[in-house]
Amino acid sequence: MLRRILSIFVYLAVHGTVLAAPPEVARLAVTGLENQSVTAVDWAPDGNLALAGPAGLWLGKSAPTGGHIWQTYWHDGLNRPGAVLLQDDKATLVLQTAELSRLIDWNADGTGDLSEVVSSSWGLNVGPPDQGTAPRALFRRDGSTLLAFASAAGNWAQRNPVPLPPKDEHFTWIPRWAGCLVLLAKDGRTTSVVAAGFSQVTALASGPEGQVFVLDAHSPWGAPAVYQLEVNAWYGNPESLSQLPPPATAKGKTKSTQAKAAPGPPSAQFPLALLPPSVCEHPSSLAWVRLPGSGPNGDLIIGDASGGRLARVRLYGEGDHLKGCAGPWLSSSELAPGINALAPSPDGASLLAGLKSGAGVVLPTEPAAFHLTELEIRDGWLECHFSSPLAQEVIDKAGDWPLAQWPLVPGRNPGEPQLVRSVRHIIEPEGTGVSFLLPPGMPPQALLAVDFRSLRSGSGDRLQVSQFFLSAQFTEPARTAPTPAPGADSAKKP
């Protein structure tokens, strides 16, 4: 597949349509697109590409001789499209601010002839630019759609207050499902709230086993968060808590008995991964890939809207026990000034990027011979495993590896990192694993940063990415009551 992708750009280069670019990114230059903003992209299973933006929609159809033949499909302008899906040769789905639309090409000439509304039930007509009010969508292969809506202010706890404009008959700021994730059935009419408590969802992605990953740029944990979606779960923003369906009546208890007890809010879901500013400052897009050197469950790639950076969340575990850790992955001037959308290739080995000035394809370099295969916290131990044995001199200096932590208090900024030194380390006999005994006094929730900047394998290969971040929950030690002194009044309360 990678050779085929490269042939695409060789074909385009012969026709003078590719700009000079670093080897990891190939910029697309499409006639009529120039440097316009691309806010939604799709890479279909048949290899066709779609680029959508406020100025229109462009389709790139695979040519028999290789490469893509580009054509302007829709040029009447679109209302800030947030997602696009190539259904077939005659229809394309586009999520706009006010509606989910289907663009239809009746005569199959490559140009859209008709726009029909699939759904517009959320009531958001217009939104200020760059405030995250436009919905996001994940189109599923079964024909249904997941829609995500920002909260009323676009962020949690008013950390960056945005003045609300005056309302009139032409303007609706708060959508019907503010802060919710909604399932829209294939018929375009049946809806149901899947989860609530989000603040500013900027992207959704599908996983290898049908999982759904959600990127919330203003999570209550003080940093952008990536979640693995759980049905009927709450994600911390109280604004949309009432949208969740009521809990089922417990067996053996009547509704009247339950009504007497004041129901407490459910626990907010802990993130799969958190993104400190050093990894991703303004996360805007998300895609699951299986790139060379990926973890056992692939990786999540995150685009930054404020620069030419891509971050990576490595996934571990299985099913509901999936865990992740985040780290920087790629920085390129060809991705500047920012990334709006990402879509993986059919085999997950490359990425189509919609940029604030055009579009490009990320072509990963060959994998490093030495990379991290697992990073996980287990019962107070931080266990790390690598693809090759460590160099002996690295093992000898293992105690110098620093560990940093950010205490996480919901609703508050984590502030500056606190440097922590490992109090003990163990090198496994085969030399591929390291275990840190975490020091006491760690907060119940924390964001840990592990710096492997000096790591090398026995053959001299350096680690592909040197710094990883992972969110952690620690179990507080059990509190035991002190034994009263002989003769003390045992009935007296402490």
Query: Which tokens belong to 153?
Result: 């202010």
For 129-133, 311-315, 390-394, 439-443, which range has the lowest pLDDT when averaged over its residues?
129-133
Average pLDDT, the chain: 78
Exposed, middle or buried, 3 (CB in 10 Å: 0-12/13-18/19+)? Answer: exposed
Joined tokens for residue 36: 């316009």
Contacts of 120 (CB under 8 A, 6+ apart): 98, 99, 100
**HEC states along the chain?**
CHHHHHHHHHHHHHCCCCCCCCCCEEEECCCCCCCCCCCEEEECCCCCEEEEECCEEEEEEECCCCCEEEEEEECCCCCCCCEEEECCCCEEEEECCCCEEEEECCCCCCCCCEEEEEECCCCCCCCCCCCCCCCEEEECCCCCEEEECCCCCCCHHHCCCCCCCCCECCECCCCCCCCEEEEECCCCCCEEEEEECCCCEEEEEECCCCCEEEEECCCCCCCCEEEECCCCCECCCHHHHHHCCCCCCCCCCCHHHHHHCCCCCCCCCCCCEECCCCCCCCEEEEEEECCCCCCCCCEEEEEECCCCEEEEEEEECCHHHCEEEEEEEEECHHHCCCEEEEEECCCCCCEEEEECCEEEEECCCCCCCCCEEEEEEECCEEEEEECCCECHHHHHCHHHCEEEEEECCCCCCCCCCEEEECCCEEECCCCCEEEEECCCCCCCEEEEEEECCCCEECCCCECCCCEEEEEEECCCCCCCCCCCCCCCCCCCCC
Pairwise CA distance, residues 396 & 425, whole Å: 11
State the pLDDT confidence band at 475, using cuts at 50, 70 and 90: low
Tens-digit pLDDT profile for residues 67-119: 788 999 998 778 889 999 998 777 899 999 888 999 998 887 878 888 999 98
Q: Which residue has the higher pLDDT, 31 or 123?
A: 31
pLDDT for residue 339: 95
Q: In this predicted model, what pLDDT tens digit does every residue of 184-227 receive, in sequence order?
A: 998 888 999 999 999 889 999 998 888 999 999 988 887 899 99
**Cα–Cα distance, 490 to 494 (Å, whole number):** 9
Q: Is 448 exposed, middle or buried (0-12, 13-18, 19+ CB in 10 A)?
A: buried
Torsion angle (degrees, nearest 10) of CA 268, 273, 279, 282: -40
Name which residue leads in pLDDT, 247 or 419. Answer: 419
Please name the fold of domain 372-473: Immunoglobulin-like (2.60.40)
Distance between CA atoms of 353 and 38, rounded to whole angstroms? 9
Domain definitions of the chain by residue range: 372-473
The pLDDT value recorded for residue 380 is 78
Give the pLDDT band of residue 145 (cuts 50, 70, 90): very high
User: pLDDT (tens digit, 9 = 90+) per residue, 313-332?
Assistant: 999 888 778 889 998 888 99
What is the average per-residue pLDDT within 58-72? Answer: 84
The type of residue at 345 is: S
As a whole number of angstroms, the distance between CA 60 and CA 69 comes to 5
pLDDT of residue 411: 63
Task: Give dist(CA 437, CA 213) in Å, integer.
Answer: 31
Nearest to 123 by CA among 91, 157, 155, 147: 147
Kindly tell me if the per-residue pLDDT of 10 is higher than 80.
no
